Amino acid sequence: MNNMRQKDLRPAPALIEFKGMKFLITDRPSDVTIHHYITELKKNNVNTVVRVCEPSYNTEELEAQGITVKDLAFEDGTFPPQNVVDEWFEILKQNLENDNNATTTTTTIITTTATTTTTPTSTTTTTTTPTTNHHLHTIKPNKSLNNIPTTTTTITTSENTDDKTTCGYQQNPEACVAVHCVAGLGRAPVLVALALIELGLKYEAAVEMIRDKRRGAINAKQLSYLERYKPKARLKHKNGHKNSCCVQ
């Protein structure tokens, strides 16, 4: 059975991990191999599949397993048009968006409100012989404070950890996005390379990381496109905290 699965899913799925984000590059499944494909997806905690080739299989079984399928098809052997790039990053943010480094702290402040009443008292003058220059004051407990009303205020705050090794968008650190074209060697790797570049890698390093797992990925035209691509902080988390962006 394991040998059959390897044949059904050749070349083997490539898991790419960087700064807390995970991508699974695969070839295109079919209705015949969909069950084996789902097994592979679940093993890698995939919750979204992005297919960049023409639809060729039914998505109902994937959706029944809680896996969302998005279509971003573009021409084989080329690089993605701008609208596909925009949609790709929107999918990533919708899938993973959350301030993963935020922890909620609840602080309870109890405020005591007291009304001070001044009662006139008589003054007695006593002549004594001072022994030191210090005055000793004795404070007696005020039993009336026991009945003073209190006000309780609860303040909830969020703390953000400036973790430079983690992407600012990530709700589930184990979540993974799968992306496939026909063979998993061109269009799908290009989209993953774009994400890696936005996460801080140079294009050469991004391509090398993918090719280490997916030999022969990315052709010359696609490589030239990645070389010209300028990152635009698309995976930067904007939530009002100056240290909230973990992508450097």
Q: What would the pLDDT profile of 20-51 be if each residue is shown by its tens digit?
A: 899 999 999 999 999 999 999 999 999 999 99
Q: Which CATH superfamily is domain 14-98+171-227 in?
A: Protein tyrosine phosphatase superfamily (3.90.190.10)
Separation between Cα atoms, residue 63 and residue 19, nearest integer Å? 28
Of the candidates 188, 164, 156, 157, the one whose C-alpha atom is nearest the C-alpha of residue 237 is 164
- Candidates 53, 167, 181, 246; catalytic one: 181
User: What pLDDT score does 113 carry?
Assistant: 39
Is 181 in the active site? yes
Q: Where are the domains of the chain?
A: 14-98+171-227
**Cβ atoms of 62 and 30 closer than 8 Å:** no
User: What pLDDT score does 106 carry?
Assistant: 36
**Cβ atoms of 239 and 99 closer than 8 Å:** yes
- Residue 107 pLDDT > 70, yes or no? no
More confident residue, 75 or 162: 75
